[in-house]
Amino acid sequence: MLEISQPQAESQRGDRTPSGKSLRALDWLNVFLADVRDGVGPYLSVYLKSSQNWEPAQIGLALSASAIATILAQTPAGALVDRLRQKRWLLIWAAIAVSIGCIAIVLVPTLPVVVTSQILIGIAAAIFPPAIAAITLGLVGHRHFDRRVGRNETFNHAGNLLAAALAALIGQFVTAKGIFFLVAAMAIGSSLSTLRIREREIDHELARGATEDDEPLAAQHHLTGLKQLLGDAHIRAFAIAVVLFHFANAAMLPLVGQRLADNKGLDPTVYLSACIIVAQLVMIPASNLTGRLTETGRKPLFLLGFAVLPIRGVLYTLSSNPYFLVSVQILDGVAGGIFGVLSVLMIADLTRGTGRFNVTQGMLSTAVGIGAGLSNVLAGIVVQQAGYNAGFWLLAVIAVIALVVFWLYVPETKPTLPPAQVQP
């Protein structure tokens, strides 16, 4: 029987050719899941402010509940995705959980119910990033992963754009509550798309970052991997930079929504939808271009994503004009498009061949949750005590610190690989 050497086995795993049906289903999954993975996102802030008359500190508590739940669930979710072969069903059940949480917020908009629903949404949201990335890597392999992640993010932002446009129409001409039901409908679409991905085409060993069949590794990597992750200086530096980035970023759009809601002559849902639409319009080409340009390196592009965030925070302090606030979202589109692609790719680089791809994603997503949760709580308190401009200045300063940490302590991670002949 012909034996295949380890480099040959890895090469065969890297040169995968999944069917067009599975790749198209992955496209549609990213479209539908765009509005499901974060629940109602910033619309919750506007809904609670304009329709329920909640105070900023209460809104911050409700928003942070989801982030805190995600913090607790991310690393176990990543380990679960590494271990289980039923990745598609994990996605489906998570989408259903988000739908239940969103509908409960509309039907019973009290603090206990909203917080509980946000916790449910946060736990479900912990599953989406590692499961999608794992399915993608298991389908296309490392060699095609750059452009495929760029394509995933492109369709994800297209889905966000579609959802934001629908939300604006529903909020303007039907009811603000309809936005929450829109999420439930998109969850059904994401579930159907997930089922159309052919299970047999997913290499589950490759999906967790392994490069060859290694049963002892499969049995041990969840225990030894965590210790190695905590001891990796590069991953620690990347995690710190990510925490600071999301600390600065997470509260910006909700604060913009609250500022718009304070203007009694405006419909905040329409303008917030415009903010999201502008950002998503920019993220679509930014994600696609990032996936292509990463062939020359990761770090220079990621530095650009970090650099625009403090500029965005300062610009928000210059005017409360709704048209100006919407235009600033162009910068959010640049940063979001770059971050969505490169964060996944750099994790894949740092864990290539270890079998710890998804648990590492979980750990770094926990870092993201920490930054986002603290951001909403602290920003809500600062705004209530000192006003919106003080909140934006605080976030801008933190964004500068994130840029410096990434610049000085995170290395280039791009591996040297022979170019692929065909990109899925």
Q: How confident is the model at residue 308 (pLDDT cuts 50, 70, 90)?
A: very high
Q: How confident is the model at residue 37 (pLDDT cuts 50, 70, 90)?
A: low
Nearest one of 353, 343, 363, 358 to 84, comparing CA atoms:
358
Nearest one of 111, 97, 84 to 199, comparing CA atoms:
84
What local confidence, expressed as pLDDT, does residue 315 receive? Answer: 92
From the number of C-beta atoms within 10 Å of its C-beta (0-12, 13-18, 19+), residue 31 rates as buried
pLDDT digits (tens, 9 = 90+) for 116-173: 888 988 888 888 888 888 898 888 887 778 788 888 888 887 887 787 778 778 876 7
Q: How far is it between the farthest Cα atoms of the chain?
A: 77
Place of tokens 């002949």: 421
Length of the chain: 424
Residue 7, both tokens: 């480099």
Domains belonging to the chain, first-starting first, are 22-212+229-409 (1.20.1250.20)
Q: What is the DSSP annotation of 221-270?
A: HHHHHHHHHHH-HHHHHHHHHHHHHHHHHTTHHHHHHHHHHH-TTS-HHH
pTM to 2 decimal places: 0.71
Q: How confident is the model at residue 287 (pLDDT cuts 50, 70, 90)?
A: confident
